[in-house]
Chains A and B, each alone.
Chain A
Amino acid sequence: MYIIIVGGGKVGYYLAKSLLNDEHEVLIIEKDKRKCDIISSELGGIVMRGDGTDSIVMEEAGMNRCELAIAVTGDDEDNLMICQMAKKKFDVKRTISRINNPKNEHIFKLLGIDHTVSVTDLILAQIEREIPAHSLVHLLTLRDVGVSFVEAKVPPGSPAIGKRLRDLQIPDAVVIPLIIRNGKGIVPYGETVLMAGDEVVAVTTEAEEDVLERILSGA
Chain B
Amino acid sequence: MRVIILGCGRMGSHLARRLDREGHAVTVIDRTSDSFGRLGNDFQGKMVLGTGIDEDILRRAGAESADAFVALSNGDNTNAMAAEIAKLVFKIPHVVARLYDPVREDTYHALGLMETVCPTVMGSDRIYEIIKGNGKT
Contacts and interface: CB of A to CB of B under 8 A. Distances in A.
A54 interface: yes
A56 to B, nearest CB: 7
A85 B89 CA distance: 20
Interface residues of B, number: 21
Contacts of B81: 76-77, 80-81, 107
Nearest to B113: A111
Contact of A53 (B53, B55, B76, B82): B76
Given A77-B78, A103-B54, A107-B89, A54 B110 contact: no
11 contacts: A55-B107, A56-B103, A75-B77, A76-B53, A77-B77, A77-B82, A78-B77, A80-B84, A89-B107, A101-B54, A107-B85
Nearest to B105: A55
A88 B82 CA distance: 18
B1 interface: no
Given A53-B76, A55-B103, A81-B76, 8 more contacts: A75-B77, A77-B53, A77-B81, A77-B82, A81-B77, A84-B107, A85-B107, A101-B54
Grouping DSSP codes into helix (H, G, I), strand (E, B) and loop, the B interface class, with mixed when no group exceeds half, is helix
Interface string B31-55: 0000000000000000000000111
Interface in A35-91: 53-56, 75-78, 80-81, 84-85, 88-89
B88 A111 contact: yes
Interface string B66-90: 0000000001111011101100110
Interface of A: 53-56, 75-78, 80-81, 84-85, 88-89, 101, 103-104, 107, 110-111
A77 B75 contact: yes
Contacts of B110: 88
Q: Which of B81, B82, B88 has the most CB of A within 10 A?
A: B81
A176 B107 CA distance: 48
B2 interface: no
Given A56-B103, A88-B110, A110 B54 contact: no
Q: Which of B53, B77, B85, B89 has the most CB of A within 10 A?
A: B77
Nearest to A111: B84
Interface of B: 53-56, 75-78, 80-82, 84-85, 88-89, 101, 103-104, 107, 110-111
Closest 5 CB pairs of A and B: A55-B103, A81-B77, A77-B77, A77-B81, A77-B78
B101 A54 contact: yes
B116 to A, nearest CB: 13
Contacts of A80: 77, 80-81, 84
Contacts of B75: 77
Nearest to A76: B53
Contacts of B111: 84, 88
A83 to B, nearest CB: 11
A104 B55 CA distance: 8
Given A53-B77, A78-B77, A81-B76, A107 B103 contact: no
B55 A77 contact: no
Contacts of A88: 107, 110-111
